[in-house]
Amino acid sequence: VKGYLIKQNLDAIIPSVKAAHNGQVVFGTEIVDTFTQMMAPAPEMTFSQTLTERELQIIKEVATGKNNKEIAETLFLSDGTVRNYISQLLEKLALRDRTQLAIYYYQHLRKS
């Protein structure tokens, strides 16, 4: 494969085929824009601005290996509230699961 075009762009087909035939790699502007967006580094967050004190407490408890019930008891919350906090944190920090949340704590938040 030497390129990829969106077939609605009929004016670009012939010049693109010629360019590919000459050894060039051809991508339509839609594809280049998508790649550019996907490859852009995520903006750096200022943790004190993006995470509340309660969110920081929840992350710390997750990092110590506590389950939702244990976290709820420690912080005087319901299991459902803890579950909601963890779901929101995973989304906010673009993490997959609580293991990644614990790793995030040790990499970014724990005071050395």
Inform me whether the pLDDT recorded for 104 exceeds 80: yes
Same domain, 60 and 91: yes
> Residue 98 and residue 54: Cα distance in Å, rounded?
16
* Domain identity same for 20 and 58: no
33 and 63 co-located in one domain: no
Identify the CATH number of the domain in which residue 80 sits: 1.10.10.10
The domain of 34 spans 3-39
Question: Given pLDDT bands bounded at 50, 70 and 90, which one contains residue 17?
Answer: confident
29 and 58: one domain? no
pTM recorded for the entire structure = 0.57
82 and 55 share one domain? yes
Contact call for residues 74 and 66 (beta carbons, < 8 A): yes
pLDDT-derived band at 112 (thresholds 50, 70, 90) equals very low
64 shares a domain with 12: no
Mean pLDDT, the chain, rounded, equals: 82
Contact by Cβ (8 Å): 1, 31: no
Q: Say whether both 10 and 32 belong to one domain.
A: yes
Instruction: State the average pLDDT over residues 91-96.
Output: 92
Q: Is the dihedral of CA 73, 76, 80, 84 positive or negative?
A: negative
Number of domains in the chain: 2
pLDDT in tens, 39-90: 666 555 544 458 999 999 999 999 999 999 999 999 999 999 999 999 999 9
